[in-house]
């Protein structure tokens, strides 16, 4: 009985550690994730968001950088609680300092008035996944990756029980086409897709801050698989191609293996750096086994020459001969 109680206590403790309750727990949570894969986090859902009609905002952070994940975020709160968004001071996250964004993120997860009325979720899209999507034979553009993430997060909120009435989205591509796409998927919601929606709609600004703060901290706690992390923190800058620290990092190319997974190989900035410095690599295609089995008209299969004929009496390996070992068919 004591053992069972101990196991339950340990599992409850682990579950608590995996919960983001503010800025202090954000980094440790991200650090536990596999940075070669995407991860989704959904906050606790306030009861008000289940009981009352809600507005939901969608925005991203890290679309342009050559390094690190792109993070999509959503935020939702009851239509009757717009004053909570004003009280928290939501504005376009790009116009706020990093310290101010961190402060707002912390307050939206700690203040009682915020926790009771505001929920959020994020998806961190790994640079590894971005590269593979854009470089595979059947291309999956960054716009498609972005839309898939936004739609997935909205579905996550629906599955969690959020009573969505209105959706506001910062656009990817032409707003009209994106809005029509979302309207076809979610016909019951009032949907608005607009440029610079994070500056116009506070609920989109809330989503923007959730996304931006998550990305900032994902870079701070990034664990390299390919080499040890340098002491003193981030050695690669913001990830934007114009950042001198990022430029220096991209100049340090492994001549054979190129860049670590932190880098989006599908970006021309990364591709150009590799072309200038890295060795040219050629990979021989392995023959298809099925193709080798195909016989041309009027010829025999090549595999025939590598198999023993039925009448051929093959010698057994000397290991078995020396030890007088024979097959046993009947016992």
CATH number, domain of 119, equals: 3.30.420.10
Task: Give domain status of residue 288, yes or no.
Answer: no
Task: Give domain status of residue 43, yes or no.
Answer: yes
Average pLDDT over residues 190-208: 96
Same domain as 172, residue 269: no
Residue 49 pLDDT = 98
Residue 210 pLDDT = 97
Q: Residue 318: pLDDT above 90?
A: no
Q: Which of 6-15, 71-80, 243-252 has the lowest mean pLDDT?
A: 6-15
Same domain as 263, residue 117: no
Whole-number percent of the chain with pLDDT over 70:
79
Q: Which residue would you say has higher pLDDT here, 228 or 122? A: 122
Task: Give domain status of residue 285, yes or no.
Answer: no
Residue 4, marked binder? no
Same domain as 259, residue 150: no
Task: Give domain status of residue 230, yes or no.
Answer: no
Same domain as 186, residue 153: yes
Same domain as 186, residue 51: yes
273 confidence band (pLDDT: 50, 70, 90): confident
Q: Which of 40-44, 84-88, 316-320 has the lowest mean pLDDT?
A: 316-320
Average pLDDT over residues 265-286: 81
Residue 237 pLDDT = 87
Same domain as 266, residue 213: no
Residue 60, marked binder? yes
Domain limits for position 57:
23-221
Task: Give domain status of residue 319, yes or no.
Answer: no
Q: Residue 9: pLDDT above 80?
A: no
Residue 148, marked binder? no
Task: Give domain status of residue 295, yes or no.
Answer: no
Q: Are 88 and 116 in contact (CB under 8 A)?
A: no
Q: Residue 93: pLDDT above 70?
A: no
Residue 11 pLDDT = 43
204 confidence band (pLDDT: 50, 70, 90): very high
Distances (CA, A) of 277 to 243, 254, 268, 274: 20, 9, 14, 5
Task: Give domain status of residue 123, yes or no.
Answer: yes
Residue 331 pLDDT = 56
Q: Residue 14: pLDDT above 50?
A: no
SS (H, E, C) the chain: CHHHHHHHHHHHHHHHHCCCCCHHHHHHHHHCCCCCCCEEEECCCCHHHHHCCEEEEEEEECCCCCECCEEEEEEEEEHHHHHHHHHHCCCCHHHCCHHHHHHHHHHHHHCHHHHCCCEEEEEEECHHHHHHHHHCCCCCCHHHHHHHHHHHHHHHHHHCCCCEEEEEEECCCCHHHHHHHHHHHCCCCEEEEECCHHHHCHHHHHHHHHHHHHHHHHHHCCCCCCCCCCCCCCCCCCCCCCCHHHHHHHHCCECCCECCCCECCCCHHHHHHHHHHCCCCCCCCCCCHHHHHCCCCCCCCHHHHHCCCCCCCCCCCHHHHHCCCCCCCCC
The number of domains in the chain is 2
Rounded (10°) angle between helices 202-220 and 23-31: 50
Q: Which residue would you say has higher pLDDT here, 84 or 10? A: 84
Q: Residue 26: pLDDT above 80?
A: yes
Task: Give domain status of residue 208, yes or no.
Answer: yes
Same domain as 188, residue 72: yes
Q: How many residues does the chain have?
A: 331
Same domain as 152, residue 265: no
Same domain as 252, residue 176: no
15 confidence band (pLDDT: 50, 70, 90): very low
Same domain as 135, residue 58: yes
Distance CA 240, CA 269 (A): 10
Same domain as 269, residue 175: no
Q: Which of 89-93, 101-105, 311-315 has the lowest mean pLDDT?
A: 311-315
Kindly report the average pLDDT of the chain as a whole number. 85
Same domain as 204, residue 252: no
């Amino acid at each position: 009985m004591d053992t069972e109680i101990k196991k339950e206590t340990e599992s409850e403790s682990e579950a608590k550690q995996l919960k983001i309750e503010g800025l202090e727990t954000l980094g440790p949570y991200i650090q536990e994730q596999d940075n070669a894969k995407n991860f989704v986090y959904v906050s606790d859902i306030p009861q008000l968001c289940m009981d009352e009609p809600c507005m939901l905002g969608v925005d991203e952070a890290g679309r342009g950088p050559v390094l690190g994940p792109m993070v999509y975020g959503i935020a939702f709160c009851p239509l009757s609680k717009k004053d909570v968004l004003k009280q928290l001071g939501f504005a376009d996250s790009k116009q706020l300092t990093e310290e101010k964004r961190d402060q707002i993120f912390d307050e939206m997860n700690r203040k009682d008035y915020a926790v009771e009325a505001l929920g959020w979720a994020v998806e961190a899209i790994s640079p590894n996944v971005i590269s593979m999507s854009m470089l595979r034979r059947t291309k999956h553009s960054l716009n498609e990756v972005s839309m898939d993430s936004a739609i997935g997060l909205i579905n996550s909120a629906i599955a969690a029980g959020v009573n969505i009435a209105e959706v506001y989205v910062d656009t990817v591509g032409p707003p009209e086409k994106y809005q029509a796409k979302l309207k076809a998927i979610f016909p019951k919601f009032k949907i608005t897709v607009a440029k610079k929606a994070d500056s116009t709609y506070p609920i989109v600004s809330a989503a923007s801050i959730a996304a931006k703060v998550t990305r900032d901290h994902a870079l701070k706690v990034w664990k390299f698989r390919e080499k040890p992390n340098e002491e003193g923190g981030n050695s690669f800058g913001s990830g934007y191609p114009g950042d001198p620290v990022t430029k220096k990092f991209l100049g340090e190319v492994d001549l054979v293996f190129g860049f670590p997974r932190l880098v989006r190989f599908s970006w021309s900035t990364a591709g150009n750096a590799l072309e200038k410095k890295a060795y040219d690599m050629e990979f021989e295609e392995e023959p298809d086994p099925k193709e080798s089995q195909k016989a041309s008209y009027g010829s025999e299969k090549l595999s025939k020459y590598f198999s023993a004929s039925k009448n051929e009496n093959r010698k057994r390996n000397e290991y078995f001969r020396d030890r007088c070992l024979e097959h046993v068919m009947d016992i």
